[in-house]
Structure 1
Amino acid sequence: TKGIEVGHIFKLGTVYSAPLKAEYLDENGRSQPFIMGTYGMGVSRLVAAVIEQHHDEKGCIWTPATAPYLVNVMVSNIKEESHMQYGENLYAQLQKEGIEAILDDRKERFGFKMSDAELIGFPYTVIVGKELDNGSVQIMIRATREIITVGATEVIAKIRELVK
């Protein structure tokens, strides 16, 4: 079967302790070299293992436990002042709630930002766009790529519900 090494253990024995005279006294009072070992976890290997298990043709699909940010607040048109204000307020509320979020307020086109959101793999992307004029926003669930529409005032509650 295929696998990925994310950690290792090396049994060093007395390879280093004997030449360095790193010793202890045993129960009979005689000097003995320490029997040594070492272990390590590769953080970058853990990241690779998560991505290997959770991805699709669009990119990464971070799990809520491993995501650098749980929520991506994406303002589709930053020239719309009310959309930017809503996005900034939502970002601040998420931060206040202890929900790790990022605000995508780049000048890029919507499709470009959406492709980036899918590539990076944020578990949830709140799309602040034209729907806001009707009192709602959309949430894309990255794992399923499902897009749900929620009331603009209900986003925090919906995010809390989704992350349970």
Structure 2
Amino acid sequence: VIPLNNDKESVRKQADKIYNELQAAGVDVLIDDRQARPGVKFKDADLIGIPLRVVIGERGLKEGNVEIKRRTDKKPTLIPADDAGRSTLEILNELKQALEV
């Protein structure tokens, strides 16, 4: 979970909400709340092998969306912020099923 502007309360609350939902579902989840540029956070997530990135930004939240990006995809997918936890779990389950082949 990567909040892009952790100083904004709405971004921080949404990041915490998604983080807590995923933890409650038994998912190993990290929240990158460092005061670093987005590119640094994205690069570090790729370097440590994070398979799925949930990015929360102020602009996206104003439109009611967060961004989900699989490490294997070139482009992110926008999903409704209210469904971010559930949608993330669905994508993680798809990834797990693909690995169980």
The interval holding the TM-score normalised by the smaller chain is 0.7 to 0.9
Give the conservation status (yes or no) of the 8 Å contact 2:55–2:66: yes
TM-score (norm 2): 0.83
Give the conservation status (yes or no) of the 8 Å contact 1:136–1:149: yes
Percent identity of equivalent pairs: 32
Counterpart position of 1:26: none
Give the conservation status (yes or no) of the 8 Å contact 1:126–1:140: yes
Structure 2 residue 9 is matched with structure 1 residue 81:
yes
Counterpart position of 2:49: 121
Give the conservation status (yes or no) of the 8 Å contact 1:87–1:128: yes
> 1:127 Cα shift?
0.2
More strand by share: 1
Structure 2 residue 23 is matched with structure 1 residue 95:
yes
* Structure 1: gaps spanning 5 or more residues: 1-72
Cα root mean square deviation, aligned: 1.2
TM-score (norm 1): 0.53
Max Rg structure? 1
Q: Which consecutive segments of 4 or more residues in structure 1 shift more than 6 A?
A: none
Give the conservation status (yes or no) of the 8 Å contact 1:77–1:110: no
Higher RCO, 1 or 2 (CA under 8 Å, sep at least 6)? Answer: 2
More helix by share: 2
| Number of corresponding residues | 92
Query: Equivalents in 2 of 1:134, 1:150: separation in Å?
Result: 10
* Structure 2: gaps spanning 5 or more residues: 94-101
